[in-house]
A = this chain, B = another copy of it.
Amino acid sequence: MRKDSRLSRVLHVLVHLNRFDSPVTSDTLAKMLSTNAVVVRRTMALLRAQGYVHSAKGHNGGWTLAKPLAEISLLDIHSSLGEGSVFTIGLTDEHNSCPIEIAVNKALQDVMGEAEQLMLKRFAEVTLDTLELESMNHLKDLGI
């Protein structure tokens, strides 16, 4: 099944954005992600709607951070991308009068719900400045 890589990609972009002083165009970001400017706009528009980035048209236009990295968590970005389930495991809902199906679905839902809560909690604990710091530490470890 094809994965949704928007979270990974957009986090990557946001940390890079922090290093620029002037706006960065969708086209530049698209090249950093080996993709297309329209795809970048599509995803970044979701973050703009939540106030995490800003976009400007015309000369010297492009994307800028609207908040410091320290004020943006993984959960913020994850949530901005939509409400879709994070699991590839789905429940069948075709025979909702069958008590066995009900019991099966409840058991699966309980476990997946608990796992998702843990995931969201951990996402909330990580802010993007941490990612930037870790990427710099990684360079230091390599002796660069």
- Residues in chain A within 8 A of chain B (CB atoms): 1-5, 7-9, 11-12, 15-16, 32-34, 74, 84-92, 94-95, 98-108, 110-112, 114-116, 118-119, 122-123, 126, 130-132, 134-136, 138-139
Contact = CB atoms under 8 A, between A and B. Distances in A.
A103 B1 contact: no
One complex includes copies of this chain to the number of: 2
A132 B100 contact: yes
B99 A111 contact: no
Contacts of A118: 114-115, 118
B94 A84 contact: no
A88 B88 contact: yes
A8 B131 contact: no
B132 A12 contact: no
A43 to B, nearest CB: 12
Contacts of A138: 99, 102-103
B115 A122 contact: yes
A118 B110 CA distance: 12
A8 B88 contact: no
18 contacts: A2-B90, A3-B85, A4-B90, A5-B89, A8-B92, A12-B92, A12-B104, A15-B104, A33-B94, A34-B95, A86-B88, A87-B87, A100-B131, A100-B132, A103-B131, A104-B131, A107-B134, A115-B118
